[in-house]
Structure 1
Amino acid sequence: MASLVLVSGLFGVGIGAQLLKTLPDDFRHTPGSWAWLSYDVPSYATLPGQFNRSVFEAPGEAVATDPEVVALNRQLNETDFVAYDDRFFDFVGPDATVEKVITLAHQTHEAPCWVPGTKDIFFVEWGPPGGDNGVHNYQYLLNTETHKLRNVTTDPPTVNVHGCVAYDGALYVVTDGGPSESAYFAKIDPKTWKRTTLLNHYYEQPFGSFNDLEVDNDGNFYLTDSRSGYFRNIIPFTPPTNPSTYFVDGKTFRPKAIQITTGNANGVSLSPDGKTIYLPNTGVSGGDGKDPYGERGLWAYDFATSGGLRKAKVPVLTNARLLTNPIANFYDGIRVSKDGWIIAGANDGVDVIDPVDGYILGSIRVGGDGEAVSIVLNGHDIWIVGRGGVWHVSNIRTALTDSKK
């Protein structure tokens, strides 16, 4: 999209622009289009007319009566980057672009991770209506240079993958399970596509429906177990317990519940120093549709450390704190950059969040015809998978990982 500064059209040039804060000089003519929403602009802090949107919709989707607000929302729906904080300009920089690299069905796509030693991203189509009643025994590989998409099936087939991380040359995945098997945690060799199941029960209690996972620097894993598979009729049995987050020892695969919610478990990520875990609660989305009064906060927890001679981190959480509620919808997949910025998929884009004050710095939009779900960070790039396809955000000023694959 071309860079947008003023709105023209039905309401005339400049209408709606006075509600926006003026962009920094080097962002007025950029490859990507920008808007800056700031409450220190009095006309934005006190909008004219009537306006309304639900918590599930982005600001640009609000219904408004005043022509200037209508024009503003039209512009927001055409931008690539929406800043809420001046730090967002430093984070993204003026050279970043957003490109939709492949169009897919308006269906949830999940579990992206970089395949070690390749230029491919592994991801899946998740849940109904795809496949045989929503049960999938295949996954996708997207070549990030040619944008060629192909299917892959593991040996034995892996059904309903929901989350993935790459670690030590392998892919580690969690699944919802299916009609004939409960949720499980598995390792996949990307050279042979052999799959080894590592964990499928908690002392003979089945897991409910694994959603996502993270790995720490010591090779221990953090798995979120949700109601999502039951809500989407992927599994036939009622979840055996409330949604939970499990710590799994990377050597013994012994599981331990470290967090439980009456909402729903979803994404998970760790701070770069491994001392904090971030967990979005998605109880707002349930089996009977979306409840605007359900839980949708992004929470941070610290790890308690033992005293005395023991210096190792132990899997006990402390200091729970609400970082933020999303501006729109709920946070699904989340990842943390090497400098600690939280990047999370929500609604029509991904949000960049400060890990200390919890302010949302800005949103990187995938457009009104898509919905961001999960992400992969790579050097100065973000790859987004979600409803409607895959998007590539390139040339971000801030290095997100130590090196580019």
Structure 2
Amino acid sequence: MGVNMLARRKCSVEILKAVVMRVAVISLAFAVPYVTAGRQLSEGRSLPFGVCYWRQGSLINNISTGATEDLEHCRFEVRDPEFLNLLGSSPKFVEFVKTSAHEGAVWYPDKNELYFSSEKFTGLNGDPRTDLKKVNLQTGAVTVLSTPIEDVPNGMVLDNDGNLLVCQQGSENKLGFIQRINLKTGKKTVVADNWFGVPFNSPNDAVVTRDGSIWFTDPDYGFVQGFRSAPKVNNQVYRISVSGVVDAVADGFTKPNGLAFSPDEKRFYVADTGFLIGNPGQYDYSRPHSITVFDVSADGFLRNRRLFASVGVYDGSAPGLGIPDGIKVDTEERVYAGTVDGVQVFAKSGKPLGLIRQPSVANMGFAGKDLDILYILNETTISYVKLKAKAAGLKYASMF
């Protein structure tokens, strides 16, 4: 549009500007592979329904950043052609069930159930509450499990024996801890609740390695959101050995959040949601909105910390930046991050591939016998999309 307006001007100076602008636009088209007018790829393939391209905009020239088509018709937004291979020839986004769904998205293959936690709300006594829930993936029936109100469950993961490990954030009356729930018997045990006698801040999300170690993040969200006392230690990442010993393995984060390992467990990814101070609408632009990656040494400790991806918003219009929350990894070491605009997908190199558009995604998880169905939680809905990918790091689920 800007080019056409300039071309209509009669002044020779403005005509020159138009020529320069046209050259810039042509250069931009070559810089973004396969972006063409309409829905046809240069190689002759048609874009599937619901799929569109992302474009780089310009603030100075009033060219919007984001989808090349109406967002109503763009559920999948492509930044790199590799994303098309992940989506397949006819991707479908399905809104599965309406329910308060915030964290977790853990598949229990024995009963084809997905476990998750609700948004935090206020109970009858004014205490903070988060329900631990499950949904039957065959029928869509949602069940609220009986968990103590003061625990405030958040992220979770299956251990290698099929038990559910839950990050319990705690409250003013109860410390935060990592809980193990035997899904066959219902028995609950405390795995760990302190580091050198210091209570955890608010255990947030967890992952389990092949040797049975439990890794989890511990930001101070309980304090900044008003349901925990002031922290006594900085926001660290911890590892619990199979014998129950707790070690701090990484710090230097503002709000460590989602975490995941590469398929070979040689690299470790951690999301930092420090940009979001605590409550929705409170931001600090000087704080992180990124994913960090470490190398894992032979003794299980971390080294060579570096930036994997700084996360923004695809259409440039959200009140803030990407704020990566839960993260997952597939067998090709693509990294999936829940963000305010959906699920952003990155290549192993950190290159952005594309976006599965859905507002306010906190976490997601793979399910199904081929571990290729991505279930997405966005506070009010559980949705899913079948991908040309397979989840990594789900030892128990991989046995089925």
Category of TM-score, reference length = shorter chain: 0.7 to 0.9
Q: Where does residue 248 of structure 1 map in the other structure?
A: 240
CA contact (8 A) 1:100 1:390 kept: yes
1:109-124 mapped onto 2 (5 Å cutoff): 109-124=102-117
Q: Which has the larger radius of gyration?
A: 2
Residue 166 (structure 1) aligned to one of 158, 167, 185: 158
Matched, 1:365 2:357: yes
User: Is the alpha carbon distance of 1:219 and 1:133 closer, same or farther for their aligned partners in structure 2, counting shifts above 3 Å?
Assistant: same
1:52-97 CA distances to partner (integer Å, 9 max, x unpaired)? 8xxxxxx55xxxxxxxxxxx57613541100100110111112221
Matched, 1:149 2:138: no
Which is worse superposed, 141-150 or 180-189?
141-150
CA contact (8 A) 1:206 1:240 kept: yes
Residue 33 (structure 1) aligned to one of 50, 57, 60: 50
1:149: how far off? 1.1
User: Is the alpha carbon distance of 1:81 and 1:132 closer, same or farther for their aligned partners in structure 2, counting shifts above 3 Å?
Assistant: farther
CA contact (8 A) 1:23 1:35 kept: no
Residue 62 (structure 2) aligned to one of 31, 36, 50: 50
Q: Where does residue 317 of structure 1 map in the other structure?
A: 302
1:157: how far off? 7.0
Residue 102 (structure 1) aligned to one of 97, 106, 111: 97
Question: Identity rate of aligned residues, in percent?
Answer: 23
Q: Where does residue 220 of structure 1 map in the other structure?
A: 213
Q: Where does residue 70 of structure 2 map in the other structure?
A: 75
**Structure 1 counterpart of 2:139, which letter?**
T
User: Is the alpha carbon distance of 1:73 and 1:160 closer, same or farther for their aligned partners in structure 2, counting shifts above 3 Å?
Assistant: farther
Q: Where does residue 379 of structure 2 map in the other structure?
A: 387
Equivalent position SS for 2:301: strand
1:303: how far off? 1.3
**Structure 2 counterpart of 1:319, which letter?**
N
1:183-233 CA distances to partner (integer Å, 9 max, x unpaired)? 101100112222111111112210111110111011111110001121222
Q: What is the CA RMSD across the aligned residues, in angstroms?
A: 2.5
TM-score w.r.t. structure 1 length?
Answer: 0.79
Equivalent position SS for 2:151: coil
Q: Where does residue 14 of structure 1 map in the other structure?
A: none
CA contact (8 A) 1:127 1:232 kept: no
**Structure 2 counterpart of 1:326, which letter?**
V
Partner Cα separation in structure 2 for residue 318 and residue 341 of structure 1: 21
Long gaps (5+) in structure 2: 1-27, 30-34, 314-321
Q: Where does residue 277 of structure 1 map in the other structure?
A: 268
1:130: how far off? 6.5
CA contact (8 A) 1:126 1:134 kept: no
Residue 397 (structure 1) aligned to one of 385, 388, 391: 388
Q: Where does residue 199 of structure 2 map in the other structure?
A: 206
TM-score w.r.t. structure 2 length?
Answer: 0.80
1:20-56 CA distances to partner (integer Å, 9 max, x unpaired)? 545435443x3x4011125xxxxx565774368xxxx
Long gaps (5+) in structure 1: 1-17, 39-43, 53-58, 61-71, 306-313
Residue 86 (structure 2) aligned to one of 74, 77, 91: 91
1:375: how far off? 0.8
